[in-house]
Structure 1
Amino acid sequence: MKKLLLLSILFISLSTMAQNEKVETPKIAVKMEIGQTISLQGVSLTFIDVIEDSRCPKYTNCIWAGRAVVLVEVEVNGKKEQKKIYLGETRNNEPTSKTLYSKDGYFIEVVALNPYPEDGKEKAPYTLLVCESI
């Protein structure tokens, strides 16, 4: 009986300790279509265009993985700035950051450009996924 009680206490204490781990809050992405403007925490974002999409289609072998380059207009306090975001491979001197806006630990970043190319499929209209982090 003492062994059973000791094992029960040990099991409860170990399971309680495992619950102290911090879990990262999942990021929620906002979908934007070309020409669409959204506002996040006073920052207006407009998905202007896809400048380049040379990403290697799914299920194919390519020498270069390719990339997509998108143009987004960021407006804060009446000041507008257009930013190019490179998704995938970058060349020398091209930025690798996907951050559209950052201030005091608050970030707005590009997550993905959809749809991802597929051989033999008609391409759907582009959508850009952005998310905010605190």
Structure 2
Amino acid sequence: MFYKNFLLSLGILSLFNCQSQKIKTDVTTEKAEIHKKNSDEIIYFKEGENKFLKDYQMNVTFKGISEDSRCPKDVQCIWSGVAVAQIEVMGTATRPMILQISSIDDRDRNYHKTVNFNGYDISLADVTPYPVSSKKKNALKSNYSIGIIIKKAGENITTK
């Protein structure tokens, strides 16, 4: 009898213990920071930020800037340069994919301002901060934010 009571109380105790260890996983879709520009919606991301975009049924993560050769504000340059952002996108029925989108369109140098994913055109609309000659390149590292525009494939996208 003592053996049965002991096992029963041990079982009940373990159930209560499991219940108290449960982490509340309240899934809330983060409201994306969206701004309007020329009738297009720009969705902003900080470096490393991940958002599920319910309207497009895709998860987007801004991985970082792989190249930033933009001419600093206070310097006169021959070439304006380019910023290349890496974003990871994943649709609800697709595997994750890393896309590289650029601040300029130059097919000869393999820079694409707009890339297609899962029936949507994703365009880079904004990269901040803009380089300044007095600041070191490393000062910008991990401080980037980007703005992207997502449209159904074939729709016109207006970017600066």
2 CA distance for matches of 1:113 and 1:75? 22
2:33 aligns with none
User: What SS does the aligned partner of 2:96 have?
Assistant: strand
Q: CA RMSD in A?
A: 2.5
1 CA distance for matches of 2:64 and 2:73? 22
Structure having the higher Rg: 2
Give 1:30's match in structure 2, choosing from 26, 29, 43.
43
More strand by share: 1
User: What SS does the aligned partner of 1:28 have?
Assistant: strand
1 CA distance for matches of 2:48 and 2:116? 16
2 CA distance for matches of 1:95 and 1:102? 20
1 CA distance for matches of 2:134 and 2:74? 11
2:126 aligns with 112
Which 10-residue stretch deviates more, 117-126 or 30-39?
Answer: 117-126
User: What SS does the aligned partner of 1:118 have?
Assistant: coil
Deviation at 1:29, TM superposition (A): 1.1
Given that residues 52 and 67 in structure 1 are in contact (C-alpha distance below 8 angstroms), is that contact kept between their aligned partners in structure 2? Answer: yes
- Of structures 1 and 2, the one scoring higher in RCO (CA 8 A, sep 6+) is 1
User: What SS does the aligned partner of 1:109 have?
Assistant: strand
TM-score normalised per structure 1: 0.67
Alignment of 1:1-134 (within 5 A): 26-40=39-53, 41-76=56-91, 77-88=93-104, 90=106, 92-99=108-115, 101=117, 103=119, 106-121=120-135, 123=139, 125-134=143-152
Misfit runs of 4+, over 4 Å: 121-124
Q: Given residue 110 of structure 2, which amino acid in structure 1 is its aligned partner? A: E
Alignment length (residue pairs): 109
Deviation at 1:28, TM superposition (A): 2.1
In 2 relative to 1, CA 97–120 (structure 1 residues): closer, same or farther, beyond 3 Å?
Answer: closer
Which 10-residue stretch deviates more, 54-63 or 121-130?
Answer: 121-130
Deviation at 1:59, TM superposition (A): 3.1
What fraction of aligned residue pairs are identical, expressed as a percent? 26
Q: Given residue 132 of structure 2, which amino acid in structure 1 is its aligned partner? A: E
Given that residues 100 and 110 in structure 1 are in contact (C-alpha distance below 8 angstroms), is that contact kept between their aligned partners in structure 2? Answer: no
Provide structure 2 residue ranges, at least 5 long, that are not aligned to the other structure.
1-37, 153-160
Given that residues 105 and 113 in structure 2 are in contact (C-alpha distance below 8 angstroms), is that contact kept between their aligned partners in structure 1? Answer: no
